Structure 1
Amino acid sequence: MSSAALPNGVAQHHLQAILLAAASSTDNFLVGLSVGLSGKPLPQHVLWGIAICNAAGCWVATAGGSVFLEWIIRTVLLGGTHEDSDTTETNSNTDATSNMLQYLLAAAAFGYLAFQEYQEQQQQKKEQGGEGAAKPASLSLALPMTLNNLAGGVTGGVMGLSPSLNTFYALVISVVTMWVGFIVGKSTRGNAPLPKNKND
């Protein structure tokens, strides 16, 4: 094994943060796609402004998820104060229960917030409906997109990921997914056949 390789725990945390950020950035891709399909430009300040808002929301959510997990462990699993009798066995049982609780809380938080995100996306499609939807989809969607990005933050927090790690990948992947969506939309629009004139 190479000495430069990351320890398994660290590599796993990086992978989890990447997957959570990618799952939380589907709306970024859709916004970029709609802008590209409209033929309008995607200004860099809009791209980075939305990504920074998403990252800030992710940081707050991750920190909140971490605090919530710690509170659950202390109050529910340890019962507030804990005596030193049978410490080794009790700590072992607590660690196992804590790990299981992390994944249960993560699944519940991500499932609920992802369902909320899906509902909001469906509502946005109904409200926007035409080709001109891409223009207001930029800055006007920054706040709801940030709220949607809380899913990855809360999930990362209850899984024990650090706020800085989760936020870094949220920022990078938010930019990448929106830009890729824009390129795909722009390319699709360029390759689409022109509508035929009814008089021809």
Structure 2
Amino acid sequence: MKPPRPLPIPEYVRKVRTAVRVALPGLDLLEGFISLAPRAEHHDGPQTILERLNGPDRFVPIQRSGERDVMLVNPLDIESVEPLGNVPLTLVLPPAFRITHEERVRVRFMSGRQVEGVLRFELPDELNRVSDFLNADEDFFALHLAHGTLLVNKRRISLTRLYEASPRPARGERSAPATGTDD
């Protein structure tokens, strides 16, 4: 019987280290670095923090500031991620195609923490409400605060307050007659 052949070692890819503050329910804020791929899958340039959080990995490594240890964090447990320092927006969010809606909201997390900011999103006219956006597939989204951008996990939100009524969806083949707002 032949000895098993060793598995090939994958080529090391230098990552783009980006400073972040991670909020996990019931724990102190975790400050450290998230590693991003140098090339994004769907656009030119490096992967963004938002793409990393919405990616397929079940655990995201965060190297704690001033430490050698690495925390493997389940993205489903992350409440929010805040880029620290002078992280360029190109490392936070992928290039926007066209922002079609903007609404001021207050988000209340399951932990009780609340943040207020502006939600900017791109949806077709027949899906133009905050509820449509929050019910979309991606778990994380950007909330624009007075002091920067916060990446929020939809699965950790218990309540979102809208300050203005959302516009009615445009009438199209698939939309029901508009009778008012439902957000």
Question: TM class by shorter-chain length?
Answer: under 0.3
Q: Which has the higher strand share?
A: 2
Which structure: larger Rg? 1
- TM-score normalised by the chain length of structure 2: 0.24
Larger RCO: 1 or 2 (CA < 8 Å, sep 6+): 1
Name the structure where helix makes up a greater proportion of residues: 1
